[in-house]
Amino acid sequence: MSFHKRLKIGLIFTGGGIAARHDPKTLEMVGMYDFHEWMLSVPEINLIAEIKPIPLFNIGGYEIEAKHWLKLAETIYGQLKECDGFVVTHGLDTIVYSASAVSFLLRNLGKPVIFTGSRFPPNEQEANSIVASHKNIYKNTLGGIEAKSNLINAVQAATMDIGEVCILFGSKLLRANRASAVDLFGPDIFDSGEIEPLGEVNFGLELNDHRSGRDNDKKTRLIKSIEEKVGYLKVNPVIDSESVNRRIKDRYRGIVIEPYFVGEFPSKIFKALKKATDQGMIIVAARGAFEGSIDFALYPGGQIGEDLDIISAQDMTPEATLTKLMIVLGKTKDKKNIKKMLRNDWAGEI
């Protein structure tokens, strides 16, 4: 008789709403769960795998910074030989940024890293009290079982044939660096546009074929540096040159800019953008829509992008574009290499 190996899953705790206590009336955060108390509230995960608790930090998602991305990636990298997969509990405010960053910081990943979170704590009584107080906001959600359901399904995903960084929330398992928030109060907050979910929760988690599969023999490499002097701008009718000039003055190394539509810029910021590129600043244009791709040649307003050699993020999400640019700029200062690295697909983001 043969027995399947019981897989070991590293459960990395970073805090967020899934670990927070809230005033049910105001939704104000009034405290965080102790990690061990929190673990005891979801005993079902121990039936799925051997859980290795890894309490990393315990903060709200809105407090996450680039230094936390590095710590996450370093922690996962240090546990790759010991663990068969990982689940990261994380605040929803910045989960897409963190998950995207980790997908780039861990090159050639062959094991699953599943990010998940919740708007409600795992304690069903506390969660149901929040939902009951805000029935007009939280419609068609899993309510009191959202945290438990997401965590259980994430642990299940971490045992499966997956070799990439994902976000699991509600009924969808998504490629992390393709995910964006689409419905803040519905049952599925995140989606991935043209890229179908890697898996769907339907009486268990069913995987789709376009995921990267598990490969324990892959030699994962850890990137240890990030350039934090990177700005983010969204083109709008009241944008002015000063928005760009401030970044030049503050010696930013790069800017991700969301142009209009598929790559159009107003002429009034041309001089400022030219000054920035002349001084060596890397400017990358990221799509502003949920779907689509940057194409400077499609409409007249895109001529500025072509004239200034602004780098197209192609169909990368804004979150993936920002995190990848920060990581690329942490590796090199050569514009030719920067452009090549940004345009090459690292982890399914393009």
Residues 127-178 have pLDDT tens digits of 788 777 777 777 767 667 888 999 999 999 999 999 999 999 999 999 999 9
> What is the domain count for the chain?
2
Tell whether 194 and 288 lie within a shared domain. Answer: no
Q: Which domain holds residue 92?
A: 8-222
The reported pLDDT for the residue numbered 238 is 94
DSSP sequence for 186-254: SS--EE-TTS--SEEESSSEEE-TTSPPP-TT---EE-------EEEEE--TT--HHHHHHHHHTT-SE
Compute the average pLDDT of residues 262-282.
94
Compute the average pLDDT of residues 277-298.
93
Global pTM value: 0.93
Domain containing residue 255: CATH number: 3.40.50.40
Kindly state the tokens that stand for 67: 């230094």
Tell whether 349 is covered by a domain. Answer: no
* Matching residue, tokens 């790069």: 254
Q: Which of 206, 222, 238 is the last residue of a domain?
A: 222
Kindly state the tokens that stand for 221: 């490499």
Rounded to the nearest integer, the mean pLDDT of the chain is 91
Is the Cα dihedral 255, 256, 262, 266 positive or negative?
A: negative
Tell whether 217 and 234 lie within a shared domain. Answer: no
Tell whether 118 and 138 lie within a shared domain. Answer: yes
Task: Provide the angle, in degrees to the nearest 10, between the axes of the packed helices 335-343 and 318-329.
Answer: 140
Compute the average pLDDT of residues 266-292.
93
The reported pLDDT for the residue numbered 324 is 97
